[in-house]
Amino acid sequence: MSSFQTPRLSRRGFAFGMAGLTLTAACGNGIGNSNAATIDARVDATLNEMYSRYPNTVEIADKANGMLVMPLITEAGFVFGGGYGRGALRIQGATVDYYSAVKGTAGLQIGAQQYAHVLFFMTEDALNDFRRSSGWTAGADIGYVVSDQGDQLSTDTTTLRTPVLAAIFGQAGLQIGATVEGQKYTRIIP
């Protein structure tokens, strides 16, 4: 019989451990040094990558009233999880506001991942609702034009009439299934 005993993990210890895991994952996300110029440079690089890898997004961008570009979202979880990222809202190619994205999850999950995503606001009403809210949350009614598996979906007229479209790409990590549903976006000053 060994004298080694495994330590018992309390709920408080687990919560602090998860907070540490989330903060550690967020450190690679550039928190703390993301000023406006850095965010804009990352947004430009993300858009260039998206347009070159998924040409169908060029047509969507041309028809969109605005785009929220999140260059890097970092998520980590072990039963409870979270995610964080920063990006910019662009209207007619110009940055008009900066946003953070925060996501909390609970359930069967383990791992970490990073990905980029772009939200296309296809109607003026959808863009205005987003800009007026003090904390806009992505819902299940978002249409996907690039899935988390890198598949391109069609850009037919039905798709283009969806108020908000999303492209998720550049996924790396060990979690499965990146979505923007449940992500909360809040305006920030970088």
The pLDDT score that the predictor gives to residue 14 is 40
The answer to whether the CB of 137 falls within 8 A of the CB of 129 is: no
Domain residue ranges of the chain, discontinuous segments joined by +: 11-175+182-188
Q: How far apart are the C-alpha atoms of 99 and 135, rounded to whole Å?
A: 10
The pLDDT score that the predictor gives to residue 25 is 41
- Compute the mean pLDDT over every residue in the chain, rounded to the nearest whole number: 77
- The string of DSSP letters for 148-176 reads TT-PBPP--HHHHTSSEEEEEEEEEES--
- Write out pLDDT tens, residues 1-20: 444 443 444 444 444 444 44
pTM of the complete model: 0.74
Beta 136-137 vs 184-188: how paired, if at all?
A: antiparallel
Would you tell me how many other CB atoms lie within 10 Å of the CB of residue 177?
Answer: 11
- Write out pLDDT tens, residues 74-87: 988 877 888 899 99
